[in-house]
Amino acid sequence: MATSDIEIKLLRAFVGVATEQSFTAAARLVGCSQGAISTRVRALEDQLGVRLFHRARLNVRLTSAGEELFPAAQALLDRHDRLFQDARSRTVAGSVRVGAAGGFGAALLAPLPERVHERYPGVELEVVCDFDARLRQAVEAGGLDLALFVQRDEAASATLLGQPRLHWVGAPDFAFDEDGPVLVAGYPEGCPVRAAALAALEGGGVVHRMALSTWSDRALDRALRSGWALAAMPENQVHGDLKVLNRPSLLPKLDRIFVQLLERPGLDDEAAKTVGREIADIYHGR
């Protein structure tokens, strides 16, 4: 009996839309136009004979058939990418310098050195943590091959990895002090998440006090788990022993932030390109 092979790019388009819940965001993730993403999803639907998404202008949801397909499609893509990476890993070599903005940017890149060492032993990786402005200057001057930014605004020159929403988080037993200011913990000045949190509190007229400013993840985590302070945090960075705090009458809603990867001008180095793909995979949990 004849069978029809499903093209990987069709599955990648489907998984991208299902993950981002947006054709536009999926196009950025996959690296093609929105029209191409739509065409690929329709082609997959035609080939399978089922509808995979409920489409609305501001809402894209999986159908029951899409929900059934998603885990299998994701697993197949992961296996495909692993086979491809394993085949290429022995030939990829060179020195790569990566920058990460202090705070959540550095936290996102924490798994990168071990991952690159295991998968691409021929790549010599150096990770530099600094402020956004200095990292951007270093990339533009060619001193860094790549830099990961967590910013409040989208940069046209960078590749957008995601737009996670910010949440207020604290200990599971966190209790608000009705008579005192809201105590806030976070990274020091220069962190865009801190800036977004303080701007929201000030804009909402919420009495607050910055009780802890530290680059130490251990100190920040301890402050939150002890229950005496709260913090703003991207939704994909909330640890299992913390909880999202919902108090609309006191805590203003937070916006999304932009996680972006910037390449040095004219980058065509295979090792650097490979590390860039690993960074994207780490961010997306692959």
Q: Report the C-alpha gap between 249 and 228 in whole angstroms.
A: 20
**Boundary residue ending a domain (63, 83, 103):** 83
Cβ atoms of 286 and 78 within 8 Å: the answer is yes
Does 200 share its domain with 64?
no
Q: Report the C-alpha gap between 286 and 278 in whole angstroms.
A: 9
In a domain, 144, yes or no: yes
Domain that holds residue 51: 8-83
Q: Is 190 helix (H, G, I), strand (E, B) or coil?
A: coil
pLDDT reported for residue 146: 96
**Overall number of domains in the chain:** 3
Q: Assign residue 176 the CATH number of its domain.
A: 3.40.190.10
Q: Report the C-alpha gap between 235 and 166 in whole angstroms.
A: 6
Cβ atoms of 209 and 181 within 8 Å: the answer is yes
Does 17 share its domain with 74?
yes
pLDDT reported for residue 2: 43
Does 134 share its domain with 188?
no
pLDDT reported for residue 3: 56
Cβ atoms of 170 and 224 within 8 Å: the answer is yes
Residue among 162, 117, 135, 134 nearest 259 (CA): 162
In a domain, 158, yes or no: no
pLDDT beneath 70: ranges in the chain: 1-3, 88-90, 286
In a domain, 29, yes or no: yes
- Which tokens is 10 given? 């069709």
Does 109 share its domain with 75?
no
Does 29 share its domain with 97?
no
In a domain, 1, yes or no: no
In a domain, 99, yes or no: yes
* DSSP assignment letter at 158: S
pLDDT reported for residue 104: 84
Does 50 share its domain with 118?
no
pLDDT reported for residue 1: 38
* Reported pTM: 0.69
**Boundary residue ending a domain (67, 83, 99):** 83
Residue among 251, 284, 241 nearest 16 (CA): 284
Does 56 share its domain with 110?
no
β-partners of residue 261 are 148, 159
Sign of torsion over alpha carbons 249, 207, 102, 218 = negative
Does 139 share its domain with 279?
yes
In a domain, 79, yes or no: yes
pLDDT reported for residue 190: 85
Does 30 share its domain with 171?
no
- Which tokens is 153 given? 């605004």
Does 74 share its domain with 102?
no
In a domain, 121, yes or no: yes
- Which tokens is 43 given? 């082609």
CA angle 151, 152, 158 (to 5 degrees): 50
pLDDT reported for residue 49: 93
**Boundary residue ending a domain (26, 60, 83):** 83
pLDDT reported for residue 171: 94
Q: Provide CB contacts within 8 A for 245, sequence distance 6+.
A: 167, 168, 169, 170, 174, 230, 251
Give the helix ranges, DSSP H, for the chain. Answer: 8-20, 23-30, 34-48, 64-89, 104-108, 112-119, 132-141, 192-203, 217-226, 270-283
Does 135 share its domain with 275?
yes
Does 172 share its domain with 127?
no
Residue among 263, 274, 273, 268 nearest 89 (CA): 274
In a domain, 180, yes or no: yes
